[in-house]
Amino acid sequence: MISAGDLRKGTTFELDGQVYTVVDFLHVKPGKGAAFVRAKMKNVISGGVTETTFNPTHKLQEAVIERKEMQYLYTDGQLYYFMDQETFEQIPLNFEQVEEAIKFLKENMFAVIKFYKGEAFSVEAPNFVELQITHTEPGAKGNTATNVLKPATVETGAVVPVPLFVNEGDVIRVDTRTGEYMERV
Coil, strand or helix at 166: coil
Phi, psi (deg, nearest 5) at residue 4? -60, -25
84 has pLDDT over 80: yes
Please give the pLDDT value at position 153.
Answer: 92
141 has pLDDT over 80: no
139 has pLDDT over 80: no
10 Å CB burial of residue 80 (0-12, 13-18, 19+) is buried
Type of residue at 51: E
Which run of H or E residues covers position 107?
none
User: What's the average model confidence in pLDDT over 81-104?
Assistant: 88
Task: Record the pTM.
Answer: 0.72
Please give the pLDDT value at position 144.
Answer: 60
Q: Compute the C-alpha angle 130/112/14, nearest 5°.
A: 140
Please give the pLDDT value at position 143.
Answer: 60
Q: Compute the C-alpha angle 175/83/154, nearest 5°.
A: 30
Please give the pLDDT value at position 64.
Answer: 84
Please give the pLDDT value at position 56.
Answer: 86
Please give the pLDDT value at position 145.
Answer: 59
Coil, strand or helix at 62: strand
67, 114 Cβ separation under 8 angstroms: yes
105 has pLDDT over 80: yes
Please give the pLDDT value at position 159.
Answer: 92
Which run of H or E residues covers position 49?
strand 49-54
Q: What confidence tens digit (pLDDT) does each residue in 3-52 have? A: 888 888 878 888 888 888 888 888 888 888 888 989 999 888 777 889 99
Helices (H), 41-182: 95-98
